[in-house]
Structure 1
Amino acid sequence: MRSFRVLSKEEGSVCLSVSWLEVPERRKEGSTVERRIVPLVLSSFHLLTARQPQAGHFQGKMAKSGAKECWGYAAYDRSGLMKPFRFMRRPCRPEDICFQIKFCGICHTDLHQIKDDWKEIPASYPMVPGHEVVGIVCEVGGAVRNFKPGDRIGVGCISNSCGQCDHCRKSMEQYCERKMIWTYNDKDIYIDGSPTYGGYSTLMVIPERYALRIPEGLPLDAAAPLLCAGITVYSPMKHYDMERGGKSFGVIGLGGLGFMAAKFARALGMRITVVSTSPGKEQEARTSLHADNFVVSTDPRQMKAAEKTLDFIIDTVAAEHSMDQYLPLLKTNGKIILVGIPAKPLECSALSLHSARRCVGGSLIGGIRETQEMLDFCARHHIFCKIERIPISYVNEAMVRLAKSDVKYRFVIDVAASTPPEFRPIQ
């Protein structure tokens, strides 16, 4: 990454940052990871202090308390516009791991959160998004047993929980009976009540219990989306017993979640039907995902022909839609599981359920043990997401494109390579 910055010494003045990132377009050995070269990104931000930062001034500087200065991008209001942000990460406690963030995936949840779209999860600003975080361990506390400096590490949606309730003891931390702590836009009541900041940043500190080991068989950048998109569909497939070979499986929506669901279904030996509003996605579904069938949901004839053909459906769509359109696709005793989070309630006819003893269920990400299992499964079966790698200064443009579904299939921020040199942690 090459960059230069124009800084003013006066507080409140506008600073300019120009950068461009040179990345390979395709990895060899048959990998499905695709990247785009993003040239010449210009960003501006307001100088936060009257003192001009000097080269090396910010590099892993530690306060007397042991807290670490961190740099990243944050949203400051409901506009969702993100700008550079400096903040402190807590010191490493005995059970903590500190790691340098290398890559962070961009999830559709990030877009909803920075714009305060969900009344159930109100936004707290400034907000540093990012819960698909991977990097390299740089410091461990004295009680840490399973990680050491130099190890590959990941953090997903969960950064803490009570650890004592029945769900936590069963490693279902996402359903913690007291409170699960989100990796960003939350307050960690189990430590000091301070805000949680996500992976659009240079460093992270995490309790060992919530740290994930990234297997060597997974490319680090392409592993990032697995920590949300991957586990979000893997968990219900395991829980609802979809792993039995020979069953027919449908996925509604072919974005990042749908892509991963189809990949898992193929590895589990299921027959795959992709249901989409976009006829243009059929070739991708059949060639890249080896789908057995493709159904255009806006075509009544295709939908009629697909009735009572599926044992399971995972509905990944976050936009408003009617369940009644898709329930007839299920066989008797079929199950449809919702993993998308539409802003408005979904319509569902009771008769559609009663007539064939169909079930509607839901699922929220996955616990830590299950997420590690999913990562290991992906490494064995060479499963990872197609990505477009971008510099951190491109995040606002990426959000605009994400809102238009203009990405195949996930954006991943190259945090380490695109952080300005004066803000990079010491290696």
Structure 2
Amino acid sequence: MSETKAYAAFSADKPLAPFTFERREPRADDVAIEILYSGVCHSDLHFARDDWGMSRYPVVPGHEIVGRVTAVGGEVSKFQVGDIVGVGCMVDSCRHCKPCEDGVEQYCLEGFTMTYGGDDRQDGTFTQGGYSDQIVVSEHFVLRMPEGIDLASAAPILCAGITTYSPLKHYGVKAGDKVGVIGMGGLGHMGVKLAKALGAEVTVFTRSEAKIEEARRHGAHHVVVSSDEEQMAAVAETYDFMLDTVPVQHDLNPYLGALKYDGTHIMVGLLEPIEPAIQAFNLVFKRRVLAGSLIGGIEETQELLDFCAEHDIRCDVEMIDMQDINTAFDRMQKGDVRYRFVIDMASLKD
């Protein structure tokens, strides 16, 4: 066992605070990692405050992890001490069901093991995440950081990046396709960069005129203010795909109307009931598809990291110290971040 320093949520209504716990010694297939950077995802905030009614305490958030290998188990073949690696939203799955065999472990029929807030499949211990100085993970769920990638900004690629890349690849976005990206936050700005790198013509849909220039700076070819009925009418039946990154309830019907026939609207942000109701007319009369997507498999996440290194794609980040996490949570709740906080874990040593 190894003593681990961290910050944890101790209840839904208290700020995160220092916490010490024991990490397991590496098993035969495990990689031990010194954490260098940990991204701050909106899911961390939801989990710390028990917004989804599933949290157990104390819990150490963090599932956008970049670090350095410090030890490996006897059966590890992919990594060695000193390698720079990453860990995303999953640390295990059953590994034998059809989705796992197909390389989409996030759809494991037995449920994947979350990086934090879950139960270890072998010993039943509670998983604790990346707001800590070290972590131990099976090598199957460890990712290699490619040469040249910026390590701090790569951390959110392991969640925000793969959440947008996976559906773009799965649904076949290609050069020349017209893609609408709904929302311009942590997910949305990565969706713009990735869709453009795949060769698509990208339009950002935002309710805020203040984000028009911002969207263009990130590579959007066009911007539509979705609260303007005239602008929405002008783009009716225009797009092949809509990538919907908005995490709160919103009216899907106008965006469905902006799709061509056989167009696909992909949900990656909203986990709550859809309100107002979808008008089935918008689907049936144009054979449109309403779809969803969850993060991505390990092989696909490695593909994404390599893709980002090749195309110099970075998540826009603001670096913080571990001691500032509660302020960061408050700012994130208000939408006051462009676009992801990343914790420099060296600050935890202080």
What TM-score range do you get, normalising by the shorter chain? over 0.9
Match of 1:141 among 52, 70, 73: 73
Paired AA for residue 60 in structure 2: V
Residue 265 of structure 2 aligns with which residue?
336
3-state SS of paired residue (2:327)? helix
Identity level (%): 48
User: Hey, what's the Cα distance between the residues in 2 that align with 1:80 and 1:169?
Assistant: 41
Residue 308 of structure 2 aligns with which residue?
378
Residue 322 of structure 1 aligns with which residue?
251
Residue 103 of structure 1 aligns with which residue?
37
Match of 2:88 among 150, 156, 161: 156
User: Hey, what's the Cα distance between the residues in 2 that align with 1:111 and 1:343?
Assistant: 16
Match of 2:133 among 202, 210, 218: 202
| Superposed displacement of residue 345, structure 1 | 3.1
Gaps of 5+ in 2: none
Residue 341 of structure 2 aligns with which residue?
411
TM-score scaled to structure 1, two decimals? Answer: 0.80
Residue 115 of structure 2 aligns with which residue?
183
Q: CA RMSD in A?
A: 1.0
Structure ID, larger Rg:
1
User: Hey, what's the Cα distance between the residues in 1 that align with 2:81 and 2:129?
Assistant: 21
| Superposed displacement of residue 179, structure 1 | 2.2
Match of 1:351 among 274, 281, 288: 281
Paired AA for residue 47 in structure 2: Q
User: Hey, what's the Cα distance between the residues in 1 that align with 2:234 and 2:241?
Assistant: 17
Q: Deviations over 1:326-355 (max 9, x none)?
A: 111101110000000343434211011112
Q: Does the aligned pair in 2 maintain the 1:249–1:310 contact within 8 Å?
A: yes
- Number of aligned residue pairs: 349
Residue 84 of structure 1 aligns with which residue?
18
Question: Does 1:293 find its partner at 2:222?
Answer: yes
| Superposed displacement of residue 159, structure 1 | 0.4
Q: Does the aligned pair in 2 maintain the 1:331–1:356 contact within 8 Å?
A: yes
Residue 150 of structure 2 aligns with which residue?
219
User: Hey, what's the Cα distance between the residues in 1 that align with 2:90 and 2:259?
Assistant: 33
User: Hey, what's the Cα distance between the residues in 1 that align with 2:235 and 2:335?
Assistant: 26
Paired AA for residue 248 in structure 1: K
Gaps of 5+ in 1: 1-66, 422-427
Q: Does the aligned pair in 1 maintain the 2:187–2:245 contact within 8 Å?
A: yes
3-state SS of paired residue (1:84)? strand
Residue 14 of structure 1 aligns with which residue?
none
Question: Does 1:391 find its partner at 2:325?
Answer: no
Residue 192 of structure 2 aligns with which residue?
262
User: Hey, what's the Cα distance between the residues in 2 that align with 1:182 and 1:213?
Assistant: 19
Paired AA for residue 69 in structure 1: E
Paired AA for residue 229 in structure 2: P
Residue 349 of structure 2 aligns with which residue?
420
| Superposed displacement of residue 80, structure 1 | 5.2
3-state SS of paired residue (2:196)? helix
Q: Does the aligned pair in 2 maintain the 1:80–1:111 contact within 8 Å?
A: no
3-state SS of paired residue (2:189)? helix
Q: Does the aligned pair in 1 maintain the 2:6–2:133 contact within 8 Å?
A: yes
| Superposed displacement of residue 201, structure 1 | 0.4
Higher helix share: 2
Paired AA for residue 280 in structure 1: A
| Superposed displacement of residue 216, structure 1 | 1.7
User: Hey, what's the Cα distance between the residues in 1 that align with 2:13 and 2:260?
Assistant: 44
TM-score scaled to structure 2, two decimals? Answer: 0.98
Residue 310 of structure 1 aligns with which residue?
239
Residue 192 of structure 1 aligns with which residue?
123
Structure 1 stretches of 4+ with a deviation exceeding 2 A read 341-347
Paired AA for residue 307 in structure 2: F
User: Hey, what's the Cα distance between the residues in 2 that align with 1:194 and 1:341?
Assistant: 30
3-state SS of paired residue (1:272)? strand
